[in-house]
Amino acid sequence: MMRTAGQDERASLNVSGTSSVYGVWGYPVKHSRSPAMHNAAFAEMGLNAVYVPFEVEPALIAAAIDGVRALGICGINITVPLKELAAACLPDLDPVSQRLGVVNTIVNRAGNLTGYSTDGPGFMWAIKSLGWPASGQVVHILGAGGSARAVADSLAEAGNRLLIANRTRERAQDLAAQVNKHFPGQAEVVAWGTSVEPADLIVNTTSVGMHPNEGDCPPVDAELLRSRPRVYDLIYAPEETRLLSNAKQYGCDISNGLGMLVYQGALSLSLWLDRPVDTIPVLAMEHAVRNTIAAK
């Protein structure tokens, strides 16, 4: 009988009384690709560890955090809608999480919990892994939600100039103000859809074009694409959004968001295991995520 990727992953899990436990919290959490991705990494590294999903009601976040200490869980990832709530409950936050007020990673060091935010740094690793310049660039950011905040913060920290456009202009203004609070003068708001300010890199952080709305495309002026900026779309399903295929036709270098997903996970693993990021098996992680997409 043919086996699916999911069955293969389950068959390879080997849990014992000495296994280290990691997990992801979300509400809901069943869509998360993190268990497949992290268990693949543990298997590839030959570690006796397991990564499981937990559906955590927002009202119970403080109890869940106490549970990490009580149960000796080694590390947790946190996804929507719990990132801000968890940050508010943790005694110790890394500088990125302090600026953003969100965490996506908890590290348990002998009962001392620290919150980190690896989404923005994961984006930076992703673009560097493509060989794209990561500083001194003019970056046009489409969107002003949670993902945009993470990406904008890391891009600004690395010394890039940001042009932020969002359907709801006030949110773009809020985001620019937040960036400028920490990195003065690096962010400004531009018009959604009609800006032709030249950019080196365009980053789509909106959900426009995501499955099942593959036909949609965020408005990007053709004038802007003609100067052949690099284009990064945080969406990875579909693999090539309409924005990316349009940009490709103008000769732009393009990438979908798989790299950011994998590297935010690799950075969590690097923190949990206290190992350099370049020792984390990102190819096995990417392969596992691709399998979850293909299985849908």
Would you tell me which residues interact with ligand ATR (CB under 6 A)? 143-148, 166-168, 171, 205-208
Catalytic residue chosen out of the listed positions 30, 83, 128, 248: 83
If the CB atoms of residues 108 and 154 are measured against ligand ATR, the closer one turns out to be 154
What distance in Å separates the CA atoms of residue 266 and residue 286, rounded to the nearest whole number?
A: 10
Smallest distance, ligand ATR to C-beta of residue 273, A: 27
Least distance in Å: CB of 158 to ligand ATR? 20
Residue with smaller CB distance to ligand ATR, 20 or 173: 173
Task: Rank residues 205 and 270 by Cβ distance to ligand ATR and give the closer one.
Answer: 205
Q: Which is nearer to ligand ATR, 32 or 108 (CB)?
A: 32
Whether 181 is a known active-site residue: answer no
Residue 169 CB, nearest approach to ligand ATR (Å): 8
Query: In whole angstroms, how close is the CB of 91 to ligand ATR at the nearest point?
Result: 25
- The residue sitting closest to ligand ATR, measured at its beta carbon, is 145
Smallest gap from Cβ 122 to ligand ATR, in A, equals 14
Residue with smaller CB distance to ligand ATR, 168 or 227: 168
Please list the active-site residues: 83
